[in-house]
Amino acid sequence: MAVTLEKIVPFGRSLDEYRRMVSLSDTDLGGKIVGVGDGPASFNAEMHGLGNIVVSVDPVYQLSAGEIEGQFYAVVDKIIEQVRASQEDWVWSYHRSPDALKEARVEVARNFFEDYERGKREGRYVVGELPCLEFGDRHYDLALCSHLLFLYSDHLNYEFHLAAILEMLRVAAEVRIFPLLTLSLARSPYVERMVGELEDRGMSVEIVEVDYELQRGGNEMMWVRPGVGRLSTG
């Protein structure tokens, strides 16, 4: 087993990692994006620096920067040690080693902490949680969810996943979710059933290979759009 975690941890990734994980094009980056469960990722901070629009939603944003920082540093060494002990389960191409991975995660978190209080005041970091989001219908072009759904299949049941995806599809024109593996590196047991159920509800669902793989075998995202699945008459 690659990593075991008792609860969902605030661990974050960079804009470049987001671009790769969910195949964001320049056109995608110019749209209105909601990042659900962004935690201490620097995606929002970096996007803001480039003049792009991202709102991040996470229950952890009810905490201060110092409190999130405390949670991050309480788990980072333990996670890196688990990764170091299972190095063959990881692909060392983007991040070259467990030490480089730790450095990258710490740098991302620092960028997030620097931006966090100002971003909160500007409404870019919003307290909220799946499966209910406080946005109007189709408020966003794109909803992203990285390292929450499917990854934590042992913590969040199938019904939660379905409700969460339908809710993201309510607030955004499309949804992209990465990865499709669980913490133990198996494909989430919910993926196949979810594809079938979403298609039965008329959605178009694609499993897309992406240019990012850290968990070995974890280089796929789920791309969901409304209206062109099995129930479509078009």
Ligand X SMILES: C[S@@+](CC[C@H](N)C(=O)[O-])C[C@H]1O[C@@H](n2cnc3c(N)ncnc32)[C@H](O)[C@@H]1O
Q: Which residues bind ligand X (CB under 6 A)?
A: 8-13, 36-39, 41, 58-60, 129-130, 146-148
- Report in angstroms how near the CB of residue 227 gets to ligand X at its nearest: 25
Q: What is the DSSP letter of 129?
A: B
- In the complex with ligand X, the residue whose CB is nearer, 22 or 229, is 22
- In the complex with ligand X, the residue whose CB is nearer, 177 or 203, is 177
**Distance between CA atoms of 115 and 99, rounded to whole angstroms?**
25
In degrees to the nearest 10, what's the CA dihedral of 87, 109, 10, 136?
A: -130
Nearest residue to ligand X on Cβ basis: 39
Question: Locate tokens 């599809």: which residue?
Answer: 169
**Distance between CA atoms of 22 and 189, rounded to whole angstroms?**
20
Closest CA to 102 of 71, 74, 81: 81
- In the complex with ligand X, the residue whose CB is nearer, 10 or 229, is 10
Burial 82-120 (b: 16+ CB within 10 A, else e): bbeeeeebbeeeebeebeebbebbeebbebbbebbeebb
Q: Are 36 and 143 in contact (CB under 8 A)?
A: yes
- Report in angstroms how near the CB of residue 15 gets to ligand X at its nearest: 10
- Report in angstroms how near the CB of residue 35 gets to ligand X at its nearest: 7
- In the complex with ligand X, the residue whose CB is nearer, 45 or 198, is 45
- Report in angstroms how near the CB of residue 230 gets to ligand X at its nearest: 28
Contacts of 205 (CB under 8 A, 6+ apart): 194, 195, 198, 199, 222, 223, 224, 229
- Report in angstroms how near the CB of residue 34 gets to ligand X at its nearest: 11
Phi, psi of 192 (to 5 degrees): -65, -45
Question: Locate tokens 């935690």: which residue?
Answer: 39
**Distance between CA atoms of 145 and 126, rounded to whole angstroms?**
15
- Report in angstroms how near the CB of residue 58 gets to ligand X at its nearest: 5
- Report in angstroms how near the CB of residue 45 gets to ligand X at its nearest: 12
- In the complex with ligand X, the residue whose CB is nearer, 125 or 198, is 125
- In the complex with ligand X, the residue whose CB is nearer, 149 or 229, is 149
- In the complex with ligand X, the residue whose CB is nearer, 58 or 89, is 58
